[in-house]
């Protein structure tokens, strides 16, 4: 009598085999998906074979491997100790932005690997910062910040070129996040700023005094000119007669007693009327 396998068992075995097949297919990964902003270097048995752009791509299981790189703008920040031209200690924090070049990814992976930041970017930044700060005094590092930034950028680009054999990456910008100096230097800067402020205050006070003195002189000159004009007018209109008239008017409006003076114990009128 021949044994038969129930239909349910066959279906179950088929389902299990199907799941195993799908799992094996996924595990072998005969395809890869490259996301936007990425590029993948495909190696075949350890040798660089090709570079893939964003999209879905078929790869050979077991023999080919995928190494993905970020080709969007990246940022690296370095903190380093340096010295200024006047031998001040400087702790610099500098950020660099850069892009990996797709055309050079194969050579980059072959000669440098994926740890390109620590092998190329960081040492180029360290050397570029120290070379730039050594050309400027501590105060100039603050007052000439844009010039120092350009100097560091030039140095970093040269450092990257020296450490690479091809067009692996492009330095796009440098930003000085912070310069920190010793406490003694900070104190000297504060003292200098205070001295400049005090000098400016003193200068402003001196200018105020000069202005007030000039105003006083101008006022005195104007008063003297007024007196001169009045005297000329008096002389032109009769002189003594005019003075007598003014004296009488003042007596009338100022009180009942005319001005007098003492002579030989007798009170005399102040004004002598003309003969």
| pLDDT for residue 126 is more than 60 | yes
Q: What is the pLDDT of residue 237?
A: 63
Cβ atoms of 243 and 270 closer than 8 Å: no
Q: How far is CA 119 from CA 99, 114, 174, 251, in A?
A: 15, 10, 18, 107
Residue 186 is encoded by which pair of tokens?
């900070």
pLDDT tens per residue, range 17-62 = 777 766 666 655 678 889 999 999 999 998 999 999 999 998 887 8
pTM above 0.75, yes or no: no
Cβ atoms of 139 and 109 closer than 8 Å: no
Measured from the Cβ of residue 109, the count of other Cβ atoms closer than 10 Å reads: 20
Region 6-24 average pLDDT = 71
Q: What is the pLDDT of residue 158?
A: 93
Structural domain boundaries in the chain? 29-69, 74-181, 189-236, 240-275
Cβ atoms of 81 and 91 closer than 8 Å: yes
Measured from the Cβ of residue 258, the count of other Cβ atoms closer than 10 Å reads: 14
Cβ atoms of 153 and 174 closer than 8 Å: yes
| pLDDT for residue 242 is more than 60 | yes
Helix or strand holding residue 81 (H, E):
strand 74-83
Region 86-97 average pLDDT = 91
For 74-181, CATH number?
Answer: 3.30.479.30
Cβ-based burial of 102 (10 A; exposed 0-12, middle 13-18, buried ≥19)? middle
Give the integer Cα–Cα distance in Å for 110 and 155.
25
pLDDT tens per residue, range 50-75 = 999 999 998 887 888 899 999 999 99
- Partnered with residue 48 across adjacent β-strands are 43
Length of the chain in terms of residues written: 275
């Amino acid at each position: 009598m021949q044994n038969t396998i129930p239909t349910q068992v066959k279906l179950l075995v088929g389902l299990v085999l199907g799941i195993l097949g799908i799992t094996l297919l996924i595990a072998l990964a005969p395809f890869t998906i490259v996301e936007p902003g990425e590029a993948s270097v495909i190696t075949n048995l350890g040798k660089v074979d090709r570079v893939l752009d964003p999209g879905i791509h078929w790869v050979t299981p077991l023999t080919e491997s995928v190494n993905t790189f970020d080709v969007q703008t990246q940022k690296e920040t370095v903190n380093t100790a340096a010295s200024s031209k006047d031998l001040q200690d400087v702790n610099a924090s500098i950020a660099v932005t850069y892009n990996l070049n797709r055309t050079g990814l194969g050579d980059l992976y072959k000669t440098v690997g994926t740890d390109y930041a620590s092998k190329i970017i960081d040492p180029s930044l360290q050397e570029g910062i120290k070379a730039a700060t050594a050309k400027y005094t501590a105060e100039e590092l603050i007052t000439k910040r844009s010039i120092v930034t350009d100097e560091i950028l030039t140095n970093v680009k040269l450092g990257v070129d020296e450490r690479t054999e091809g067009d692996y990456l492009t330095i796009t910008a440098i930003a000085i996040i912070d310069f920190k100096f010793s406490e003694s230097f900070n104190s000297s800067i504060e003292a200098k700023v205070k001295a400049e402020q005090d000098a400016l205050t003193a200068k402003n006070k001196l200018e105020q005094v000069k202005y007030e003195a000039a105003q006083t002189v101008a006022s005195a000159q104007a008063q003297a000119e007024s007196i001169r004009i009045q005297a000329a007018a008096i002389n032109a209109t009769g002189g003594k007669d005019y003075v007598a008239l003014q004296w009488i008017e003042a007596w009338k409006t100022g009180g009942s007693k005319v001005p007098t003076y003492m002579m030989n114990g007798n009170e005399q009128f102040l004004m002598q009327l003309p003969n």
